[in-house]
Amino acid sequence: MTKNNALWLMLGGAGLSVYDMLTTEKGMIGGNLYGTGKPLENLRFEIYKTEQGKQYFLSVSDAAAILGAWFYFR
């Protein structure tokens, strides 16, 4: 993967993740992309759940941002 492709993968993934975060209403799990009944709902995976019931998810856009950053900065 070239640095240019890795940069765009990182920026695109981060942008989609930030968009979903900004459109998430208080108390909801996902926003306009990964929320219940939304287009990318099935591309979000629960990775951890605390004893108090708080859930942590990894979405495809998060993974793209991490993968792009790894290739770009290595």
pLDDT attached to residue 27: 77
pLDDT attached to residue 28: 84
Structural domain total, the chain: 1
The β-bridge partners of 46 are 57
* pLDDT profile of the chain (74 residues), mean per 10: 96 95 87 90 93 92 96 96
pLDDT attached to residue 68: 97
Give me the domain span that covers residue 54: 3-73
pTM: 0.85
pLDDT attached to residue 63: 96
